[in-house]
Structure formats: C-alpha cells, structure tokens
Structure 1
C-alpha cells in the first residue's frame, strides 16, 4: 500500500490567492520560467479571442485535435461555499484535514472523469525531438503553437513493465508529475481556445463533496464504497476504466479511488489553519518540489483514504526506479496510483497568472537540484 507522505517542510511559504491576484512570493518574486512567457501569451491571446462570445455555464463536450479529435466531457460547477476539511469526529480522519474552514469558490467546469490515455498518449508520446525541459530541439516559425509548448521527453523506464497495468484508451493516465499534468493543460488550451488547469485543493473538494458534508459524497456508510469507487478491496491491484462506478451527486465519476488526482497545491498540514472563514479561492502555491498534493485516494488505497477530505503529499520515493541523474521532471516511475482531472474557470486570468498555474516548477538552478 502507498503510505501517507505528509511531512511539512520548514521552508513552506503560504500563498492564498484569488484568480485575479498575482501570486508574488516574498522570497522569489520573478515570474517562473520567464523565458517561456511569450508562448503563454500566444495561448492567452487565443483564449481571449475565443471568449469573445461567453460560454454559458452548462455541460459541454471538448474536442481535442491532437488526440485524433477525441472528446472530453466537461460539467459545470456553480459558485458557492462549503466546509473544507473534515470534522474531528469523522472516522479515519487525519490531523492534516483540519481545522475545517468555510471556503468560497468561483464557478468553473471540471472534467467528468479523470484524464484518460486516449487524451494523454498523444501528449506524452509527442514524437518531436526535445530538450530535457521539453522544449523543441529545433524550433521553427512553422511549428504549431501546441507543439511549441514544453512536453514530455521519452521515458527511460517503462511504466507498463508490471503487467497488471494496461495502456488502454479508456483507463486513466497515470505516472506523471504535477508538472507534466500542468503542461498537458497548457497543451490542451493551445488547441481548444479554452483555459484549462489543474484544480486547486478547494475546487477539487468542493466538486467532490457536491453539496454533501459526509465522509464520502454518497454518505457515511463505508459498505457502499464499492458502488462508487475502485479501491484496495475491489480493484484487483490495478486501475480500471473511468466511469464504471456511480457518479457523485453532480455527475463526476471516480472522485473516490481509481487514481489519486493531482491538484495545484503544495501539501502542508498547516495550510487550513492559516485560512480564514469566508476565504475566496484559496491556493497554497508551491515553493518546493515536495510534497505536492493529490486527492481522492486510488485503487491501492484503503477506504478511509478515499474520503472527500483525505489528502496525500508526494514524496521522492515516487521516483525510486527512475535511473536518470537528475531524475525526470515528467514521470513518477513508482506513481501508478497517481493521475489527474482538469478544470476550466469561468473567469479568464491574465497571461502572467496563466503562466504561474502552468509552471509551478520554477526551473531555477536551486530547484533543479531536487526531483520534481
């Protein structure tokens, strides 16, 4: 089983922001990956142009050209407020799930399921010669915008060596770093003209709970979990196709179990304690590469780790079998339990804000000494 990795580094800097607020760091105020800002600005221009006719807040289907016109279903989530975290008396609760705080979030769309290999394979198997940071080795003016975006380099370790895992189009993509998931969002945005990113912890839990305050979105009865989630008791020690279990009240599948899902936040057991009731769109912006946050539990999780409030921090041993020095910024060789889903905020942020969301890895010499 994957054990909880929740140590909190002493250098954490808490950053809480709304979508309209630039996320300045007290110790590091320059824009991350500044050399790539021009690419982000081009994507931003495309998104603003596409938004000339506002989209109504209703479900829609997105078509992804680079994925053979495969589609992605997006469901609406209205603005609202909820109690972030779990009550002290909830069975299976961990201390990092509190104290509970009343949080407000703006409206957004979220993918109905976890991102599948059908969408992710064309991104990570992009077929272009690339530098280790994912930039094109020989860029030209003829390159499509989506190709110019940094994308994964080939793997040195086959994530499917274990035969219990299959690269099936309808299974959730897994094994990627938070950085790779964020750059997928930029790649997708460049093709569609819609701004996509990872959800924040607050957005994720708001959508997972779907108006409920119970341990799971279906209630407190653990015996019903098998109807809603793939977890240690029923997964046969591997992940499963998306959408086979019952959805939550807002129509989202696999929020509990299957693969744990990346969110944008740094993991900190002190984060909730720093929040105020009524906080709007909180985000604990990353300042270190470990630990980052995944939510929802996985096929490898015991039931309590799949609860709506359950949290897990990433750890260096998720790259234990990576033979590279330094280790890959794209893959967690031992992260077959980790995937992601995406959101599209109704409010379009500035180009600089988009750039921060898509580049939470700073690419500084200091941070390159660590693993992503």
Structure 2
C-alpha cells in the first residue's frame, strides 16, 4: 500500500505495526499515519557525526567542521516530502509550478510553510507538527551512514536514489519513485530542496551545541538536500545553503511529528 491509496482517517495518528506492501511489491513498515495520508517513520534517538568530511568529499567551508551531535529524543519524520494533494487538502490551493497531486509541493516560502503547519495542527487539534531541525534532518538522512551519500562516498549510484540534473529532465517528480535510505525515507536527496527549522549561518558548526542544536538566533532561510536542478555535489548529505525569502520551484519540505516524552 502506498501513500496514494491510503484512505483518510479521523484519527490524528494510527500506529500500524503490520508490514505493508508498496505498489512496487516491496515490504515496509508504516510507523504512523495522519488524517490526510501522511506517513511518518520513527527515528530513534542517537548520536552521529554531522557535516562534511574534507578527506572524502569536495566540501564547502560552511559544511565544516565535522562535529558530533546527539539527538536526545526520538521523533517521527515524514516518509515523503509533503505533496501537492496534501497541501491542497489543508490550504485549499496549489501554488506549485509543476502541477501533479503526487509531486512535492513547491513554489512556497517559509512563511507559507509555517501557515500550512499552523493549519494542520489546528485541523488535528495538536501542536506536534513542525519542520525538522537541521540536525534532525541530517541525522535522519544519514540513517547511520558516515559517507558523502547514504549509499557511499561516490555518486555512481545516485540515479537510483535521487532526481537531480542528470536524470530529472528539468522538473520534479512524484514522491517515492526512487529507492529510500535504510530508514525508509524517500527523496532525502534530490527532487526538491527541503526547508528546515534552523536559520543559516556560515560559521554555526564551529559553535553548535553537541545536543539537540536548533541553529543560530539570526540568519537566512536554510535548505537541505539537493533538487531536480542541482548537480550531484549538491545532493551530498552534508550539503546546506542559505537562501533568500523568495519562492522557488526547487523548494519544498517534509514534516516532523513530535512524540510526547
């Protein structure tokens, strides 16, 4: 069963422990499902090394220094980027440039995303939905890996996992068509850049706290992951960049669902 065939539920979250078959005949686990068909994967608490390894990848200076980060609380991460159909079910419109209900929503600003999150929280009578922090995003994307990509240090296999400039044909694609990482998250690399909760500062990693960092107090909007437009270098796990407030058809987002501790 894929997200496309999920029937909406009146419950905030339905915990499902049974293994479900995808539309490609694969087996996987749905950890949580909300009322508009968003699937979430349980990400366990843990410690990882964040940032780029200059010995193994051609890094930008603001992707370093590498530093150890502890994510002290488990959380749910969206299995997919938020789709246009999900956006429209909450907001009543579709601002995307490349219209397809199963594509990630794009052409939205950070303020647009905050409005979506507020309305979704109101719709579900909760305060548990938010953007991931930058550290949560990279921790979930790495899925235990310590390499440039979650499948290794070279881009030879990138086409199997990501839509980017080499294979995207100049546009984003429906979510979930490429292989996921080992934690079952799709399109963490490529398709669209993803907004995160933190602000961007070039030198933040040098002073970032070691536990649950939430970014600097000021800075520009921060994007993670690559896009359909970007080269393989911009699809590395450590890639990050500050951006302006304008809309772009290369930017979207996925959500975190917080767990009551």
TM-score tier (shorter) = 0.7 to 0.9
Runs of 5+ unmatched residues, structure 1: 1-49, 65-70, 127-154, 320-331, 349-372
Per residue, is there more helix in 1 or in 2? Answer: 1
TM-score by length of 2: 0.84
Per residue, is there more strand in 1 or in 2? Answer: 2
1:114 is matched with 81
Query: Helix, strand or coil: the match of 2:147?
Result: coil
1:338 is matched with 251
Q: Deviations over 1:56-96 (max 9, x none)?
A: 9x7011113xxxxxx11111000001011011213231111
254-263 vs 177-186, greater mean Cα deviation: 177-186
Separation in structure 1 between the aligned mates of residue 174 and residue 16 of structure 2, nearest angstrom:
30
Q: 1:216, 1:308 within 8 Å by CA — same for their partners in 2?
A: yes
1:354 is matched with none
Alignment of 1:66-81 (within 5 A): 71-81=37-47
Separation in structure 1 between the aligned mates of residue 120 and residue 188 of structure 2, nearest angstrom:
22
Residue of structure 1 aligned with 2:212, choices 281, 293, 312: 281
**Residue 125 (structure 1) shift:** 3.1
Alignment of 1:251-290 (within 5 A): 251-276=184-209, 279-288=210-219
Separation in structure 1 between the aligned mates of residue 174 and residue 214 of structure 2, nearest angstrom:
30
185-194 vs 264-273, greater mean Cα deviation: 185-194
Closer/same/farther in 2, CA of residues 55 and 248 from structure 1, 3 Å limit: closer
Separation in structure 2 between the aligned mates of residue 159 and residue 242 of structure 1, nearest angstrom:
14
Runs of 5+ unmatched residues, structure 2: 1-11, 18-29
214-223 vs 297-306, greater mean Cα deviation: 214-223
TM-score by length of 1: 0.60
1:182 is matched with 114
2:105 is matched with 173
Greater relative contact order, per chain length (Cα 8 Å cut-off, separation 6+): 1
**Residue 192 (structure 1) shift:** 2.0
